[in-house]
Structure 1
């Protein structure tokens, strides 16, 4: 999305208010299959969301991989146009990498249901692991007698609203506008490898009645 957040799975008809300036559009089944790996997905999430550069060593530390293994994944992502090499750091000792655009958009893959399913499963599994970790953390705090932070958001919220088409479009635009607003607040120094992160997942699913 705009600065960017979760870097794929975004529909091609994304509301204009949340449109990317320089999207990377995925339309090749082989390219989408290349994303069906947790480490690669984490790399894209990091690079597209931060819109900053990272070394293989920095990315490896976030994925619990060796730098050489991370370099392999980065070269694979480069092959399909997801990431590209950035200018070296001031000391020139290690190559830096960056996202190839400001958004990763999943285009039409009507003939590649298996590729889309593989990617979707990796996305959902990664988020499921984050949910489980947060539940465990809160349970551990509760067992230790640690008071929850005031106003702490629920681990997961889902629901349904009754909206006509125009209301639905407005609802989606307003949600994305809030995301864009807060993405734009982060200063470059706050987007570093040690910056604080808040993960989210958005999905708007109209009822299928046919």
Structure 2
């Protein structure tokens, strides 16, 4: 997924760089609810991360949808200001679309908790499907006698670290800085529709103890 400059209560950031020149901040509950659809999240990941234009046909191929169904989702995203129609390229036979900024930040303290939870559930479900697909892929390799490389990352890593508040801020900053470093290495020609992608999900959760404990 993608990063942003954290706000007070981020529900889901997506974009190219944390230091954004053109952020798109969405806090309207109805607009957030419009994102509670896996195909629309895939579109936002693609357009905001690549910062390139895509046609409905190209995006449909990534979401296993028909171009007409994808056009419907693009118009819905346009309605709420997430995407824009881009200038035609080539013979201009098919409309092209682009992100409405270089970074998307969803959610503020004044937003709807229910809307943000619905959006997060769709995100988590999509990532769960990617995890399951990777597990199945590795299982097929194992059955075929293909040995993994010694440096292959685990499918999922979770954990806990003991940090003081100042150390916690430094830790989060360093993790995002590493992501920023590699985001900056990708040239426009490296962000094509057929480019190789590596998905990740980051969440830094301080311990929240129940009141009275």
Q: Distance in 2 between matches of 1:146 and 1:133?
A: 17
Change (3 A) 1:111 1:96: closer
Q: Deviations over 1:123-170 (max 9, x none)?
A: 000000000000010011001101113310010001011111111111
Q: Deviations over 1:97-131 (max 9, x none)?
A: 01111111023154512111110000000000000
Q: Distance in 1 between matches of 2:64 and 2:109?
A: 32
1:207 aligns with 2:179: no
C-alpha displacement of 1:6 = 3.0
Q: What are the residue-to-residue correspondences of 1:28-43 with 2, within 5 Å?
A: 28-43=28-43
Q: What are the residue-to-residue correspondences of 1:157-196 with 2, within 5 Å?
A: 157-196=157-196
C-alpha displacement of 1:11 = 4.1
Residue in structure 1 matched with residue 125 of structure 2 by the alignment: 125
Question: Which SS does the other structure have where 1:24 is aligned?
Answer: strand
Q: Distance in 2 between matches of 1:7 and 1:51?
A: 14
Residue in structure 1 matched with residue 26 of structure 2 by the alignment: 26
**Structure 1 segments of 4 or more deviating over 6 A?**
none
The alignment's TM-score, normalised by the length of structure 2, stands at 0.90
Please, which runs of 5 or more residues in structure 2 have no aligned partner? 11-16
Please, which runs of 5 or more residues in structure 1 have no aligned partner? none
Residue in structure 2 matched with residue 6 of structure 1 by the alignment: 2
CA contact (8 A) 1:85 1:95 kept: yes
Q: How many residues align?
A: 203
The alignment's TM-score, normalised by the length of structure 1, stands at 0.92
